[in-house]
Structure 1
């Protein structure tokens, strides 16, 4: 690969469609632990203390019917990265108290909790292990697994500390997508955008990142090869942001997509494109929080 996207690239705001905005706002406040930054009509922006930049944006589609998981291309989950293990323990304790079903996995590079919102949008809450503990093979692929987490150890980290929601420093660590098929998807994200492939899961999933992270974007065909994009009239993913550190880098990406004849439009400094599955991507420049 001749071009690599800037190592400082991260995932920004993820906008989700929901069927009942008030119900979703209550869920994300009380169960997930986000706070409302702004609410305007059918939309709400959610984040954490210390930053006015939203992690999630919600848009109500009145009367929309939630679809089963893995029913089309679009969101598999959006992953909220907390700054330390104690924060993850507190989140776990709150999820247990809420009565929601909680999935879990130790990925070696991270410990992760999995839930679904009222519209079956997938949410991961996780913490990273220190980078020096990550293991890489000779091909530059990171070693990951799906082992059980230390549930009791996480709850012990929380001890009797009060739950006040997800803490300052929480970010969107990555996003995981159902896609229509992998070869054209890999070409778009790796060959054109310049992400690096860091892991594969047989022929059904791949993981890509910038700057040696374990993954910023997961891509899978678990909804079926050829799965159509989840329609705009249903709950699901509206778009996600790829955040670049400089305008020069943004213009480089713009030029690469334009040269490949990828349909683009610009809106107030944002490049708006769609990947081969039709998933909308906003490519933006944003400074520190």
Structure 2
């Protein structure tokens, strides 16, 4: 390649498509627990789900993975799917919902630019639920790079958003 190329600034990651071992179990997690809606099904092997009527944010399929073992934490593959919530109150609401369902979290962090909750789906795929702080609140290093870190997230303070 002879010239530098910069991806357009309005580019977004449109969706993620996950191989799962049990479609119904995955739909229970992503739809019943997290609140996504099914937009279409392809027989009993694939489902496409979204937030707000988009064609799909997440695809789930068993085409090559039906009844296979869970994803291995130390193996090659997707680290996590990150789901961005529009407000901190929305993040607090899903946090409360997951607590009430007694579904296990794997972590929570304040990254400076965002606040995040971490859990695994039924196939052991990592899921990050997060809220971005307004860009004007981000901190920058002298060289212009963004200051990001992993600090403890004050979960009690997060719940104050909905109490």
TM-score, length-scaled by structure 1: 0.52
Measured in 2, the distance between the counterparts of 1:5 and 1:128 equals 22
Unaligned runs of 5+ in 1: 160-289
Q: Is 2:146 aligned against 1:148? A: no
Look up the match of 2:29: 27
Question: Which residue number in structure 2 is paired with residue 194 of structure 1?
Answer: none
| Equivalences for residues 1-289 of structure 1 within 5 A | 2-41=4-43, 42-49=45-52, 51-60=53-62, 61-72=65-76, 74-102=77-105, 103-159=107-163
**C-alpha deviation, 1:95, in angstroms:** 1.1
Q: Distance in 2 between matches of 1:5 and 1:143?
A: 22
Give a deviation string over 1:123-181, Cα, whole Å, max 9, x none: 1110000101111213332111111112112112122xxxxxxxxxxxxxxxxxxxxxx
What TM-score results when the alignment is normalised by the length of structure 2? 0.91
Partner Cα distance (1:95, 1:22) in 2: 19
Alpha-carbon distance in 2 for matches of 1:77, 1:35? 20
Deviation of 1:62 (Å): 1.6
Question: Structure 1 segments of 4 or more deviating over 6 A?
Answer: none
Equivalent residue of 1:157, what SS?
coil
Distance in 1 (CA, whole Å) between partners of 2:15 and 2:5 is: 25
- Report which structure shows greater RCO (CA 8 Å, sep ≥6): 1
Deviation at 1:15, TM superposition (A): 0.1
Q: Distance in 2 between matches of 1:85 and 1:133?
A: 14
> What 5-or-longer segments of structure 2 have no aligned partner?
none
CA RMSD of aligned residues (A): 1.3
Q: How big is each residue's C-alpha offset from its partner over 1:228-284, in whole Å with a ceiling of 9 and x where there is no partner? A: xxxxxxxxxxxxxxxxxxxxxxxxxxxxxxxxxxxxxxxxxxxxxxxxxxxxxxxxx
| Alpha-carbon offset, residue 112 of structure 1 | 0.3
Query: 2:104, 2:119 within 8 Å by CA — same for their partners in 1?
Result: yes
Q: Quote the Cα distance in structure 2 between the aligned partners of 1:137 and 1:31.
A: 39
- State whether residues 70 and 76 of structure 1, in contact with CA within 8 Å, keep that contact through their aligned partners in structure 2: no
**Can you list the C-alpha shifts for 1:35-59, whole angstroms capped at 9, x where unaligned?**
111112200011112x322110000
- C-alpha separation in 1, matches of 2:135 and 2:110: 15
- Which whole-Å CA distance do the structure 2 matches of 1:11 and 1:79 have between them? 11
Q: How many residues align?
A: 157
The structure carrying a bigger strand percent of its residues is 1
For 1:43 and 1:89, the matched residues in 2 are separated by 30
